[in-house]
Amino acid sequence: SFVDLDLARTAVEQGQDTEIICKVNMKNPFEGDAKIKLVGLPPKVTTEDITFNKESKELIFKVKTDPASPQGRHKSLFCQVEIPINGETVVHTTGSTELRIDKPAPPKKDEPAKPDTV
- Kindly report the pTM of this predicted structure: 0.85
Identify the pLDDT of residue 1.
76
DSSP for 6-45 reads EEPPEEEETT-EEEEEEEEEESS--SS-EEEEEE-PPTTE
* CB neighbour list of residue 47: distance below 8 Å, 6 or more residues apart: 20, 38, 41, 61, 62, 63, 64
Domains plus CATH for the chain? 3-98 (2.60.40)
Identify the pLDDT of residue 105.
84
Identify the pLDDT of residue 109.
74
What tens digit of pLDDT does each residue of 55-71 get? 999 999 999 999 999 99
Residues of the chain with pLDDT below 50 are none
Identify the pLDDT of residue 112.
60
